[in-house]
Structure 1
């Protein structure tokens, strides 16, 4: 079976793959192989090693062995986690997300409170973490509201610091 960049292509929508490939290649000492890139993209798409093997019509033990000897080792070296044990294949994407390789994506999911904000408001999600069965969303919120027509700038008691 030929391996292509189209397989597990959704990873490119959520991850900075080029930077990640480059950084992992620097740890490895040479470029990642097409199979290493493919396995990494599979993990970043949320597939287990067994699911990656199934989609690629490969032996799941072989994929697991390949991941342990390549991608897992490269990521641990890159992120200075050589002494940490990989408890679960999900650790790889969690560690890489924490290290900043996950890109900010625009979600089509509507958050109910956003409908109550004024029209010109801007919400930038800066970080999302999941720990202890809780989701924490860090955001910067910019709300622009017009002054009521009966209030003018002249009536506001604002000091002009430039005239001091």
Structure 2
């Protein structure tokens, strides 16, 4: 069986889980348990408590009870909604999205659609340096003919034309 961190991992694609975990932990007074995080991710992926239970091989009533006693309480407290009733489990994700915990979706746009025709993009090297991935990129974007551009247009002063 997959570890609890791997289950419902797709929630990380759409939610700022680390900030959410930290903020909920501050309300709780200590870190969320792996099970609390797991149940929260299940909700954020759009699964009902019964579906979460089914996927985890747990009792549906047990998961619902756990959510009511933990995640629901923490979210209500975090978002200052203690007096509001949760009539549907979907409210949790709606409230958290309204509060800004949902990541902005990064629409995948092909680089070629952003560049003028005949542009060339080559990744010439990929390195890992310290805690960063470094890409060396060769980008060629066609401009108008060189004869159409004067040095004056490029705003180059005498010091740069040596």
Q: Is the 8 A contact 1:44 1:93 kept in 2?
A: yes
Corresponding residue number in structure 2 for 1:34: 34
- Secondary structure of the corresponding residue to residue 51 of structure 1: helix
Corresponding residue number in structure 2 for 1:102: 102
Q: Distance in 2 between matches of 1:60 and 1:83?
A: 26
User: CA, structure 1 residues 87+34, in 2 after alignment: closer, same or farther (shift >3 Å)?
Assistant: same
- Residue 4 of structure 1 and its aligned partner are, at CA, apart by 1.9
Q: Is the 8 A contact 1:3 1:38 kept in 2?
A: no
- Residue 2 of structure 1 and its aligned partner are, at CA, apart by 6.5
Q: Distance in 1 between matches of 2:9 and 2:31?
A: 19
Q: Distance in 1 between matches of 2:93 and 2:3?
A: 21
TM-superposition CA deviations, 1:95-117 (whole Å, max 9, x none): 000000000112459xxxxxxxx
Q: Distance in 1 between matches of 2:27 and 2:3?
A: 23
Structure 2: gaps (5+ residues): 116-162
Corresponding residue number in structure 1 for 2:79: 79
TM-score normalised to the size of structure 2?
Answer: 0.65
Q: Distance in 2 between matches of 1:25 and 1:56?
A: 23
Number of equivalent positions: 112
User: CA, structure 1 residues 119+34, in 2 after alignment: closer, same or farther (shift >3 Å)?
Assistant: closer
TM-superposition CA deviations, 1:12-60 (whole Å, max 9, x none): 0000000000000000000000000000000000000000000000000
TM-score normalised to the size of structure 1?
Answer: 0.65
Corresponding residue number in structure 2 for 1:23: 23
Q: Is the 8 A contact 1:50 1:64 kept in 2?
A: yes
Please say if 1:93 is aligned against 2:93.
yes
User: CA, structure 1 residues 119+13, in 2 after alignment: closer, same or farther (shift >3 Å)?
Assistant: closer
Residue pairs, 1:4-15, within 5 angstroms: 4-15=4-15
Q: Distance in 1 between matches of 2:63 and 2:7?
A: 15
